Chain A
Amino acid sequence: MAKKMGRRARKFAKKNLQSVMKRKRKLNALFQKKFAPRQEKSDSPEESKNLKNDMQTPVDPEQEILDGIVSTNPFGDLFIKEDDDSGADVSDSDGYLSEDPECPYISEDEEESCPEEMCKDVVLLEQNTEINQRLKNQKRKLSKLCKKDPQFSKFLESRRSEFLKSKSEEIYSDDEGDTSSMDDEYIVGNEISQVSKVITSSTVDVWCWLVMEQPNWPGLANLLNAFRAACHYGLDTGEVSPVKIANREVFCKILTFVLSEAKGIFCGLLRISGFSNKETILKMKNKPEWKTTRSLIKSFLRSSLFLLNQETDNQILVFVLSQIRLSILLFSAFPSLTKKLIKISIHLWVTGDKDLSASSFLILRDIASEFSLDNIDTCLTKGFGAFIANSKFMKPQNIEHIEFLENSVVELYSLDIQKSYQKVLMSVQQLASILRLALKTKEKDELKKIHSWQYINCISLWVKFVSCNYKNHDLQQLLFLIIGVIKGIAHLFPGPRYLPLRFKCVKMLNQLSFSSGVFIPVESLLFDCLEIRGTNNAEGTKLKHLDLALLLKVPNQLLKSQDFQQASVLSAIKLLAEHLSQWCYHVSFPDLATIPLILLKRFHENTSIESVRRPVKRFIDQVQQNSDFIQRKRDQVSFSPKDKESVDSFLQLEKCDRSAAFTKFYDNMLQNALA
């Protein structure tokens, strides 16, 4: 509100209090020389806040003086840009920097004569010419009227000023447009001697060269202002920027140069070799140079964030992100900007394509690993929230993306286990309580909650987390809880319709068992699908490819189809192989394989689906072979089951070599699946 008021008041002043403005400008010029050292103050947030307040009462003479002191802009205008995303930082003003008046501007008529050539949007261009034509006609008409009746022009003026009193913004800009000449290059004719400096490509070249040559060159502010203007290009609402970008080359040059060289420039300014870690930044804050560079850095960061917010093209975004990432530690000095950055990065991470997602993830990871605890918290919470919100649906297109998101969340959470453990535990407990309720009530709504991708993806996320970190941390409690939840899910949805869900559960259990080394029996969960009997005639709808990974529940029409049976039997065998392969060197392997073997043999005899016979047979043979192998080996040993050490050391050599036939078979199977 205050901002808005400020801007309105400012405009009002500009429009109606010309004399005041003029006086102010005079004062400015005066103060500029007298209080030169105080210039730097103007950009601290407190000051600018003050400033904004002051703007509301521009008639107060004392305030004017103050204005004069702080506003050192040679052009007598200080812009306070209202950011689109203003929620986070009230105290952070986003304005142009005070510029160095001596900065060289090289005038050069290199304005593009016809932007038409450049632009591909033909429709818009046509529209523009058409409107232009109409405008000319109307103007002619108007001027005729004015000539005819000079009284009318006066009348018009009075009307306009009346209007302006009630409404400000639109009319104001209208006015400006009206009074400016047809030439769209310069804004002239207004009472305010508002001249935007045009930055030509040679100007930029000179600036760049100067910046690179002398680190303390004061014209850096001008360059950053130009950068800001470029970032805001095309989106300024009613504000006049002090710089005008001449053409696309300039635009491009400014953006790429500033983004890619920012790190070097600021390092030079702060006299440090680079931003290696947090300590450097802390140290840097105490340096005297910090005071001078702070506003410059802030302007740069803010403009970059604005660009990130506005830009839609993935490649540009990736570029910007990767450049920002080089100097990411600068953000740690500005907490509110960091929050903004997190917000934007999470948005891009979740919605962007592969590259963009990856680069935003890198930003997040950097923030989480380098920044203060607060930021880690935000990163973890928001990252998890965004993942959950985006994992509602599984489609062939987004399955990879969701997996990436899942992996990145695990990465983020693995950064600081101590901290994230609480969060994970809470989340899993929440899942468990939902499940408990569903087990008790068996109500449809509760079941639906569990039988959703969100729930399953969440579980699978934590499974991944546990299996990644089990080795280095004591996550036993969490492990048991998760196993309980997964078993509960499998128990809650029996029947062939939910086989895909069950396969997922088994997969997760295998994953957990594999990483933690505990024994989790899963065989009984898979026996069901060996008993599905469908219609023997294969007349039903033949699907090209039935991907069980994309389903939680099998649609009814597929339930009896051969495709489904085939797919489920094959998945079951795969999971069973996964389970058995983990224990294929264990002394009790033959016993572990007993029941599956009996059932599989029976299935092999009875099945009517020819296509699964061969893989089943092959699997049976392999398991049998391994079983015989272990049997032979253990017949030779003399220790008893209770001799724990001997049991543990049984066939360890072979295990390390991965020499058993079954391991090879399993590896082969995995490779086939990948191919």
Chain B
Amino acid sequence: MGKKRKVILPPDLPPEVADNDIEVSDEDLEFIGQNREYAGFLTKLDTKSIDRHVKRVAGHESDDLEALYEQRKRKASLLKRNDDDDKLQVDPVDALPVKTLDGKLEYRTVDRTKSEAITNEKDNTEENEKDMSVVKLTKKEKRLKIKKSRKEAKKEAKVEEKGNVGVEKLHTEVLAKVEEDLSAEELFRKKKIKLAEIGLQLLENPEENIKSLKELLKNCDDGNQNIVKLGLMSLLAVFKDIIPGYRIRLPTEKEMEMTVSKAVLKQRFYESTLLNSYKAYLAKLIAMEKKPSLRQVAVRCLASLLDAVPHFNYRENILAIVIKNISSPDDTIRKLCCNATKSIFLNEGKHGGEATFEAVRLIAQQVKIYECQLHPDSIEVLSSLTFDEDIGKPDTQAEAVKIKKKGKWKTPDGSNKLQGSEKKKTRQESLAKTREEVTADFKSVSFAPDSRERKRMQSETLSAVFEIYFRILKHSTDSHASRSTTDAASFSHGSSSLPLLAPCLKGLGKFSHLIDLDFMGDLMRCLKQLAGYSDHGTIQNPLSVSERLQCCIVAFRVMRNNLEALNIDLQDFFVQLYNLLLEYRPDRDQGEVLAEALKIMLCEGKQHDMQRAAAFIKRLATFSLSYGSAEAMAALVTLKHLLQKNSKCRNLLENDAGGGSLSGLVSKYQPDATDPNLSGALGSVLWELSLLTKHYNSSISSMAASIMSMGSVNPAQSQVFLSTASPLQAFRDSSILCELSKPTSKSATSRQKQRELQKDYVLMDPEVMQNGNLVDEDEVRRKLEDRFAVHKVITENERLRKELNHTLSSISLYEEYNRQKKQKRRRTTKRVLGD
């Protein structure tokens, strides 16, 4: 009977208790002596609850055993685990099915897997318990135990068949049987479940189950790729969860020798196991990254590890792999890597900036190795970098101290900024003050290393970034020179041969305020060359119009930030812009770039030379006559700005004979001049505006009208007209999508008062229409006759066919008739006979 009950209640009676019994008993005997008083204390416990528990589990056992069993259970829940555990395991109660401390957990796992094969479950729990028991033992005994337990586990099936518990036998038999029958599919499912279980246990109690990591790692060597992937992913989840928020430092030899408390020992063990497994895991990932089939999974794991735990050990290795894949031709891999890198850049708090520097350095290496032939994304990521200018500024130190102390981190002595002129510093001083408050808040919550260290790192990062940028620029100018002879195919722009230039220019624009003045001259020379306009048209320049405009923009950005320090003539760039306006093609080039260039070069900044301003005004007006509304709008906004700033140019609005007197060198307007200063635009009249007032787009026509009226207003009042809209804004507002979304009124108001039908033809020639109707009647007659004849023959045909069919069927009926007749005759004869 007892047996039966056990079988019925498998969850309560895991037979492996026997293992523990055997494993532990010898060593732990002494504990009983030491801890006897515990047992005594526990005997006084509430019997009701004891009964409740016991009845369910082992009704057949003797009272003594029951009592003891219960005691142990209570104790487990009440006392600290380790000590009591050992002691209790020696008890004969161990024969009982319920394992000591983790009753709760065990039920849960059991519940979860109830539906699974019994054998399966048994297999798992066996392993788990083994591990658990090992952990419980002192470190000293650990290794021995493992070996022992493994051996014994193998033996068990044979040796212990006739042991104390009979159920064991049953289970092992079943196990053996079922294992034979396991198909590959089931195996896969089993493994999956096992992975899930181990993972869950690890997440529930990492300290106890840390050894399971090895188990999981083993799974990753499976022949089945799916299992490997699952294993990798579950390990990833586990590591992401259990990796501590600090870097693990393994104890030195010396430290190992020192005697330490148990807790410390345990912690050490935990950490070393974690670290070792992590290392093994990474090694595995790195190895798999080379296999094409597993690359994606491996990179995904690495990227998310980098994202989640950038502070932890072995980051360098991960980073190296991730950066290596940053310009992978595979879109998903590249995206993963880029995002991971971006998160490194954005969350510097997580790793204190070290990783940023490493990543940038690695990217720089990549750029160098591949000679700038990388995917644009790999440079694009750099634009997510943030540079904090305030770290360790001697001037701002005092204030920084206060805030930083609040934030519980040490004040730096940041005087060792690598470079930086006094001028720059003083300029940025004021800026710094305002920024500080914002950044301080951020810093206080993110943990950061020594700010001096940070400062150093940041400047190194910065120089690495600019190294990348300059390398790309250099490369571009070189290839520009070499390529200019080869004829680039019609519509392909430079971007194919210079993939990195566009993001590079974007980045330069973004970090232009950080560029060291020493580089400035070279940089400008480079940009000038790249933007270079040649009289022979676009073909000679491999760069696209957008890229060239971008060059101009960057140059202006850089200059604007350092204008006081440098006195570089920007005239060349104006010439570029003047000519690039003609090269611009609406759907090929980016209109926003053009609008931005107009804004930066013409709307902002100091006053322009009158000749130049007039030339631009004229060209912009002409430009808006030929191009779409978005571009035209941007141009008109700029034009308006220019007119507002250069009041003398308003003469262009008037057609007066004296206009020529202002025109200086060139008295007559030369539309095809390439130099704005030589165009003689001052002598021209803005006739374009009169045509623009007829523009279909109402905002453009009204804009043109408002510009035309500027001439009559005296300069003092003109300030009223200062519109705040930038060319960029204007461009966006009148893009095609916006134009399409405009509401339309529902009714048409006819110019004719009454609803009246229009009887006249609007398109067609009525004469022709009428003539088309004339038909040759004889022809029609002939055709009608033909039709009649044809139909007649057809009807005849149909009729004949029907008739024929009918006759045939009648004849065939004859046979039936004969048959029936015979039957009738037979019947009658029968009847006759019967009578």
Beta-carbon contact of B740 and A135 below 8 Å? no
Beta-carbon contact of B623 and A595 below 8 Å? yes
Q: How many residues of B contact A (CB 8 A)?
A: 112
Judged by a CB distance under 8 angstroms, whether B572 is at the interface is: no
Judged by a CB distance under 8 angstroms, whether A134 is at the interface is: yes
Interface mask (B676-718 → A, CB under 8 Å = 1, otherwise 0): 0000000001111111111111100000000011011000000
Beta-carbon contact of A319 and B775 below 8 Å? yes
Interface mask (B711-741 → A, CB under 8 Å = 1, otherwise 0): 1100000000000000000000000110111
Beta-carbon contact of A640 and B750 below 8 Å? no
Judged by a CB distance under 8 angstroms, whether B468 is at the interface is: no
Beta-carbon contact of B762 and A468 below 8 Å? yes
Taking a contact as CB atoms closer than 8 A, the residue among B622, B632, B794, B803 that contacts A177 in the complex is: B803
Complex contacts, A271 vs chain B, CB 8 Å: none
Judged by a CB distance under 8 angstroms, whether B162 is at the interface is: no
Judged by a CB distance under 8 angstroms, whether B7 is at the interface is: no
Beta-carbon contact of B797 and A128 below 8 Å? yes
Complex contacts, B538 vs chain A, CB 8 Å: 531
Complex contacts, B746 vs chain A, CB 8 Å: 422, 425
Complex contacts, A251 vs chain B, CB 8 Å: 784-785, 788
Question: Cα distance A25–B308 when bound, in Å?
Answer: 102
Judged by a CB distance under 8 angstroms, whether A334 is at the interface is: no
Residues of B340-385 whose CB lies within 8 A of A: none
Question: Cα distance A213–B228 when bound, in Å?
Answer: 104
Complex contacts, B694 vs chain A, CB 8 Å: 517-519
Complex contacts, B258 vs chain A, CB 8 Å: none
Q: A488-B740, A519-B694, A592-B625 are in contact. Are A121 and B790 (CB under 8 A)?
A: yes
Beta-carbon contact of B744 and A521 below 8 Å? no
Judged by a CB distance under 8 angstroms, whether A167 is at the interface is: no
Complex contacts, B769 vs chain A, CB 8 Å: 358, 361-362
B50 to chain A, nearest CB (A): 69
Residues of A511-550 whose CB lies within 8 A of B: 513, 516-521, 523-525, 527-528, 531-534
Q: A355-B772, A411-B763, A488-B740 are in contact. Are A156 and B491 (CB under 8 A)?
A: no
Beta-carbon contact of B780 and A316 below 8 Å? yes
Beta-carbon contact of A484 and B799 below 8 Å? no
Judged by a CB distance under 8 angstroms, whether B490 is at the interface is: yes
Beta-carbon contact of A138 and B807 below 8 Å? yes
Nearest-CB residue, chain B, relative to A494: B587
Judged by a CB distance under 8 angstroms, whether B654 is at the interface is: yes
Complex contacts, A596 vs chain B, CB 8 Å: 626
Residues of A430-478 whose CB lies within 8 A of B: 432, 435-436, 439-440, 464, 468-469, 472-475, 477-478
Judged by a CB distance under 8 angstroms, whether A204 is at the interface is: no
Beta-carbon contact of A641 and B655 below 8 Å? yes
Judged by a CB distance under 8 angstroms, whether B394 is at the interface is: no
Judged by a CB distance under 8 angstroms, whether A661 is at the interface is: no
Judged by a CB distance under 8 angstroms, whether A16 is at the interface is: no
Q: A124-B797, A128-B796, A178-B803 are in contact. Are A485 and B740 (CB under 8 A)?
A: yes
Q: A248-B789, A252-B784 are in contact. Are A598 and B773 (CB under 8 A)?
A: no
Judged by a CB distance under 8 angstroms, whether B665 is at the interface is: no
Residues of A74-131 whose CB lies within 8 A of B: 115, 118-121, 124-125, 127-128, 131
Judged by a CB distance under 8 angstroms, whether A205 is at the interface is: no
B818 to chain A, nearest CB (A): 9
Beta-carbon contact of B626 and A118 below 8 Å? no
Nearest-CB residue, chain B, relative to A475: B748
Beta-carbon contact of A594 and B671 below 8 Å? yes
Judged by a CB distance under 8 angstroms, whether B4 is at the interface is: no
A112 to chain B, nearest CB (A): 8
B464 to chain A, nearest CB (A): 37
B404 to chain A, nearest CB (A): 48
Judged by a CB distance under 8 angstroms, whether B751 is at the interface is: yes
Beta-carbon contact of A256 and B537 below 8 Å? no
Question: Cα distance A127–B586 when bound, in Å?
Answer: 72
Question: Cα distance A178–B806 when bound, in Å?
Answer: 8
Beta-carbon contact of A313 and B783 below 8 Å? yes
Judged by a CB distance under 8 angstroms, whether A396 is at the interface is: no
Q: Give the interface size bracket for A toward B.
A: 35 or more
Q: A142-B810, A416-B755, A524-B585 are in contact. Are A594 and B653 (CB under 8 A)?
A: no
Question: Cα distance A516–B752 when bound, in Å?
Answer: 17
Question: Cα distance A313–B708 when bound, in Å?
Answer: 66
Question: Cα distance A388–B101 when bound, in Å?
Answer: 79
Beta-carbon contact of B821 and A524 below 8 Å? no
Complex contacts, B792 vs chain A, CB 8 Å: 115, 119, 234
Complex contacts, A247 vs chain B, CB 8 Å: 788
Question: Cα distance A127–B793 when bound, in Å?
Answer: 10
Complex contacts, B785 vs chain A, CB 8 Å: 118, 248-249, 251-252
A360 to chain B, nearest CB (A): 11
Judged by a CB distance under 8 angstroms, whether B804 is at the interface is: yes
Complex contacts, B808 vs chain A, CB 8 Å: 138
Question: Cα distance A131–B807 when bound, in Å?
Answer: 12
Beta-carbon contact of B739 and A468 below 8 Å? no
Question: Cα distance A436–B739 when bound, in Å?
Answer: 10
Taking a contact as CB atoms closer than 8 A, the residue among B687, B742, B750, B814 that contacts A591 in the complex is: B687
Nearest-CB residue, chain B, relative to A127: B797
Question: Cα distance A151–B655 when bound, in Å?
Answer: 120
Complex contacts, A170 vs chain B, CB 8 Å: 802
Nearest-CB residue, chain A, relative to B490: A533
Beta-carbon contact of B586 and A491 below 8 Å? yes
Interface mask (A296-339 → B, CB under 8 Å = 1, otherwise 0): 00000000000000010101101100100100000000000000
Judged by a CB distance under 8 angstroms, whether B749 is at the interface is: yes
Taking a contact as CB atoms closer than 8 A, the residue among B697, B747, B804 that contacts A135 in the complex is: B804
Beta-carbon contact of A524 and B762 below 8 Å? no
Nearest-CB residue, chain B, relative to A134: B804
Complex contacts, A477 vs chain B, CB 8 Å: 744-745, 748
A554 to chain B, nearest CB (A): 13
Question: Cα distance A234–B789 when bound, in Å?
Answer: 10
Q: A249-B785, A415-B758 are in contact. Are A125 and B793 (CB under 8 A)?
A: yes
Q: A256-B784, A519-B692 are in contact. Are A421 and B748 (CB under 8 A)?
A: yes
Q: A155-B817, A417-B758, A531-B490 are in contact. Are A184 and B748 (CB under 8 A)?
A: no
B162 to chain A, nearest CB (A): 73
Beta-carbon contact of B691 and A592 below 8 Å? yes
Judged by a CB distance under 8 angstroms, whether A639 is at the interface is: yes
Complex contacts, A359 vs chain B, CB 8 Å: 772-773
Complex contacts, A315 vs chain B, CB 8 Å: 775-776, 779-780, 783
Q: A369-B757, A421-B748, A596-B626 are in contact. Are A151 and B797 (CB under 8 A)?
A: no
Beta-carbon contact of B807 and A640 below 8 Å? no
Beta-carbon contact of B691 and A255 below 8 Å? no
Beta-carbon contact of B748 and A478 below 8 Å? yes
Complex contacts, B147 vs chain A, CB 8 Å: none
Beta-carbon contact of A318 and B748 below 8 Å? no
Q: A128-B796, A318-B773, A480-B696 are in contact. Are A464 and B763 (CB under 8 A)?
A: yes
Judged by a CB distance under 8 angstroms, whether B761 is at the interface is: yes
Question: Cα distance A362–B802 when bound, in Å?
Answer: 44
Q: List 28 A-B contacts (CB under 8 A).
A: A121-B793, A138-B808, A149-B817, A159-B813, A170-B802, A173-B802, A174-B802, A177-B806, A234-B792, A414-B762, A436-B741, A439-B736, A484-B739, A487-B629, A488-B740, A495-B491, A528-B588, A534-B490, A586-B691, A597-B672, A601-B672, A634-B655, A634-B687, A640-B685, A641-B655, A641-B685, A642-B653, A642-B711
Additional A-B contact list (19), CB under 8 Å, known A119-B793, A128-B793, A128-B796: A119-B790, A121-B793, A124-B797, A138-B811, A141-B811, A234-B790, A234-B791, A248-B789, A315-B779, A414-B763, A477-B744, A496-B491, A518-B695, A527-B585, A594-B622, A602-B537, A606-B537, A640-B711, A642-B711
Chain B residues close to A by CB (< 8 Å): 487, 489-491, 537-539, 582, 585-588, 621-629, 631-632, 653-657, 671-672, 685-698, 708-709, 711-712, 736-737, 739-742, 744-752, 755, 757-759, 761-764, 769, 772-773, 775-777, 779-781, 783-797, 799-808, 810-811, 813-814, 817, 820-821
Cβ-closest 5 pairs across A and B = A234-B791, A494-B587, A533-B490, A421-B748, A588-B687
